[in-house]
Amino acid sequence: MCNAFSGIIKKNGEVIWKFGVESHEDLIESAGLKDNTAETTRMTFARFEITPDNGNYLNPDRWSFRVDQTIQPKWLDEGYEKLCWAEFRKWKKKLNRILVRKPTVNPFSISPPKKITKHHLELLKEWDSVRASVWDSVRASVWDSVRASVWDSVGESVWASVWASVGESVWDSVGAYSGSFFRLPRKSWKYTENIKTKGYPFQPCVDLWGMGLVPSFDGTTWRLHGGEDGKVLWKGKL
């Protein structure tokens, strides 16, 4: 899987990248390049990535450059790498404008409300009305690499806590939380045209998450989970 920051470096020194595009093959196709030789002296470009060593785009440690192909052009040297780093700095400035660098929070580490109130259920109803489009929207609007950082931080533990009782429905909640790490214009959230809001379209779920509550749905009954073991604090129909 390609990661951000992904790009193509040409023999003439041109660096090709597009903000939000991680796929080398998409970049190659859009640039009209042909990958038709394995002879190191005849290759006209190379695939590269600059990624955080710890794999965490929300809290990166050290960024490293690597050529993302087995056979490398003979002409590729440190001078070309410097050109890639220069473009990376431009990409990182754009990233910092849209990425919300907030701590990832496991909702089951938060003390949940002692009582589920009308306010919580109103948020749950709002979430019910928009959740069907959450993963299509988040997949289309944000990057796999950043979504993976959120999943690695909290997704697996949340999934494990409630998997037995609700199956895959909790995946929607993780998706909504992942999207909250992007500060995008309202129109940039794809497939949400019918959701009437000026802000992040899946905010009701994020609000519940911040209260220590994770919604789930088994096709008939809604639940709100909370506490260290993700136990059911409320269940019913909306």
Q: pLDDT digits over 25-37, tens only?
A: 999 999 999 998 9
3-state secondary structure of 96: helix
Is 141 inside a domain boundary?
yes
- Last residue within a domain, chosen from 64, 98, 132: 98
In the chain, the percentage of residues whose pLDDT exceeds 70 is 89
Q: Identify which of 199, 190, 99 has the alpha carbon closest to the alpha carbon of residue 141.
A: 190
- Asked if residue 122 and residue 83 are part of one domain, the reply reads no
Give a three-class secondary structure readout of 46-58.
Answer: EEEEEEECCCCCC
On the question of pLDDT at 159 being above 80, the answer is: no
Same domain, 132 and 158: yes
Tell me whether residue 1 is in a domain: no
Q: How confident is the model at residue 199 (pLDDT cuts 50, 70, 90)?
A: very high
Q: Is residue 140 located within the same domain as residue 67?
A: no
Give how far Cα 204 sits from Cα of 3, 87, 112, 215, Å.
30, 37, 16, 10
| 32 within some domain | yes
Q: What per-residue confidence (pLDDT) applies to 170? A: 78
Determine the Cα–Cα distance for residues 187 and 141; give it in Å rounded to an integer: 10
Q: Which residue has the higher pLDDT, 105 or 233?
A: 233
Nearest CA to 9 out of 65, 64, 51 is that of 65
Q: What's the total number of domains in the chain?
A: 2
Q: Of the residues 98, 124, 148, which one is the last residue of a structural domain? A: 98
Same domain, 195 and 171: yes
Mean pLDDT of 151-166: 60
User: Cα torsion for 182, 187, 192, 194, to the nearest 10°?
Assistant: 150
| 84: in domain | yes
pTM of the complete model:
0.81
Q: Where does a domain end: 98, 119, 147?
A: 98
Residues 130 and 223 in one domain: yes
Cα 161 to Cα 52, 109, 112, 165: the distances in Å are 29, 12, 15, 9
The residue behind tokens 């070309």 is: 80
> What domain range includes position 29?
6-98
Residues 130, 91, single domain; the answer is no
Judgement on whether residues 92 and 123 belong to the same structural domain of the protein: no
Averaged pLDDT, 8-22: 94
